[in-house]
Amino acid sequence: MIRIGNRKFSNGVIAQLLTEMDGIEGREGVIVLAATNRSELIDPALLRPGRFDLVVELDYPNEEERRAIFAVHTRGKAIAADVTLEELASLTAGRSGADIEAICRRAALLALREWIAPKIAMTRVQVTETTEEGNTTNGQESETPEEHASLPAQPSNRFMIRPEHFARAIDEQRERYAVQEVAEGSIARQQAGRQRLLEMASDMNADGRPPLRGLRLWLARLFGLVPREA
């Protein structure tokens, strides 16, 4: 259980969970496991002896383990011969098993879109007979040379996931994580700034004098840290 914004609701849920856990009778051969990727948010009451008292930290997979994970998620799929698991593993340092699975799914989706797009476009092309005047015999408009040149080439009948599909999937995931890291850094800076302003808005300095009280209160009110009537 993690701490959430509504403290009253969170405390009620944790208390109920602890009550249920205390009533569980031990059975030989039964092991209860729980997993989280945000261990810093776990309520300490859940980690006391007799509850989840053993914590095992699992690191991200190394290169050899990532290669094995890629082998699992690419098994039975139409992978091009020039796709090597070693290269994929070397490009995904710091990625979890779930990340690798998402990369494989995304690469397959990109390959599917690329393979099926020409087929969809070809179904929209209707061949019509034209008269000498250039009019269609069935009332449809004839295509211009420019439109004919823009038509897709005859699509391949073989679906294949190629290196560029994996490369694009990895790049998209890397960009998504970069945006997330920037957002988390911004939140951390905002929280640090808020704490600093709270310290500046204290009534007295360390030496007992309040020379900058007016400025501190103005800054605190500006950022909504204290009521404006204070």
Tens digit of each residue's pLDDT (9 = 90 or more) over 86-112: 999 999 988 989 999 999 999 999 999
Q: How far apart are CA 64 and CA 74, in angstroms?
A: 15
Buried b (16+ CB within 10 A) or exposed e, 32-66: eeeeeeeeeebbeebeeeebeeeeeeeeebeeeeb
Look up residue 14 and give its DSSP letter.
H
If DSSP codes are grouped into helix, strand and coil, which group holds residue 161? strand
User: Which residues are within 8 A (CB) of 181 and not within 5 positions of it... i.e. 6 or more apart?
Assistant: none
Percent of the chain with pLDDT over 90: 25
If DSSP codes are grouped into helix, strand and coil, which group holds residue 109? helix
pTM over 0.75: no
**What pLDDT does residue 83 have?**
92
User: Which residues are within 8 A (CB) of 134 and not within 5 positions of it... i.e. 6 or more apart?
Assistant: 142
Q: Which amino acid is at 149?
A: A
Instruction: Name which residue leads in pLDDT, 110 or 40.
Output: 110
Q: Which amino acid is at 111?
A: A
| Cβ–Cβ < 8 Å for 220, 198 | yes
Q: How far apart are CA 210 and CA 207, in angstroms?
A: 9
> Closest Cα to residue 192, out of 200, 181, 202?
200
Instruction: Name which residue leads in pLDDT, 108 or 45.
Output: 108
Look up residue 23 and give its DSSP letter.
T
For residue 129, pLDDT beyond 50 = no
Measured torsion, CA atoms of residues 46, 49, 50, 52, in degrees rounded to the nearest 10 = 40
> Closest Cα to residue 61, out of 104, 90, 102?
90
- Reply yes or no on domain 63-182 having CATH 3.40.1350.10: no
For residue 4, pLDDT beyond 50 = no
**What pLDDT does residue 40 have?**
77
What is the arithmetic mean of pLDDT over 73-96? 91
Could you state, in order of their start, the residue ranges of all structural domains in the chain? Answer: 7-47, 63-182
What is the arithmetic mean of pLDDT over 138-142? 47
